Amino acid sequence: MYSYQKENIINTKIEDLMIKSEKVAHVQVDNPLEHALLVLTKSGYSAVPVLDRNYRLKGLISTTMIMDTILGIESLETEKLSLLKVEDVMNSDIPRLKLNHEFVRALGLTINHPFVCIEDNMGIFCGILTRRSIIKLFTKNLTKLPNS
Ligand code: AMP
């Protein structure tokens, strides 16, 4: 049998668990699609945040969104990679967390999203919280009960 340190988990601060913006691969709204595809492919991430020139969070872009856009009826319309910009394809309807939100809010959001973007009160991108880091936190706070 196992028990877990409930307080440690509930009282976790989003800031303590997030990957800070400096370490997060991102693209900008006005980058051509081919740049986004390059970042996604080279980083190995399936989706990355989209920021404007002032580092404000604008949305997410994924390899699937790009492939879906360039998929023609019979062939790949690769010219779209240089003609279209990230903002033409990105999803701007994304879940967001603020630095001062309670951790339980993050828990709920990561049920359906592998990561959630965090912004400050001015909308400036601060980093991401991944489902992986939350599962790690739970694992770290599990204790095996004696005689079990
Ligand atoms: P992981 O939990 O590490 O598998 O990450 C889940 C998803 O979060 C990845 O597929 C990416 O979309 C995103 N992600 C994780 N770490 C980063 C990072 N350093 N930069 C950009 N996106 C990331």
The 10s digit of each residue's pLDDT in 13-37 is 999 999 999 999 999 999 999 999 9
The 10s digit of each residue's pLDDT in 2-14 is 787 788 888 899 9
For the chain, domain boundaries = 2-142
Q: Tell me the CA–centroid distance for residue 36 and ligand 1, in Å.
A: 15
CATH 3.10.580.10 fits 2-142, yes or no: yes
The torsion of the CA quartet 17, 22, 25, 31, rounded to 10 degrees, works out to 140
* CA–CA distance, 91 with 19 (Å, rounded to integer): 21
Beta strands in 19-123 (DSSP E): 19-20, 27-28, 47-51, 57-62, 96-98, 115-119
Residue 121 has pLDDT above 80, yes or no: yes
Q: What is the mean pLDDT of residues 106-124?
A: 96
Q: Tell me the CA–centroid distance for residue 77 and ligand 1, in Å.
A: 28
Q: Tell me the CA–centroid distance for residue 72 and ligand 1, in Å.
A: 29
Q: Which two tokens stand for residue 60?
A: 């997410």
How many CB atoms lie under 10 A from the CB of residue 78? Answer: 13
- For residue 60, count CB atoms less than 10 angstroms from its CB and return exposed for 0-12, middle for 13-18, buried for 19 or more: buried
pLDDT at 8: 80
* CA–CA distance, 144 with 85 (Å, rounded to integer): 52
Q: Which residue, by CA, sits nearest to atom 16 of ligand 1?
A: 24
The torsion of the CA quartet 130, 135, 136, 141, rounded to 10 degrees, works out to 140
Ligand 1 in reach of 47 Cβ (< 6 A) = yes
Of 8-12, 19-23, 83-87, 127-131, the one with minimum mean pLDDT is: 8-12
Q: Tell me the CA–centroid distance for residue 148 and ligand 1, in Å.
A: 36
Residue 148 has pLDDT above 80, yes or no: no
Ligand 1 in reach of 136 Cβ (< 6 A) = no
Q: Which residue, by CA, sits nearest to atom 10 of ligand 1?
A: 45
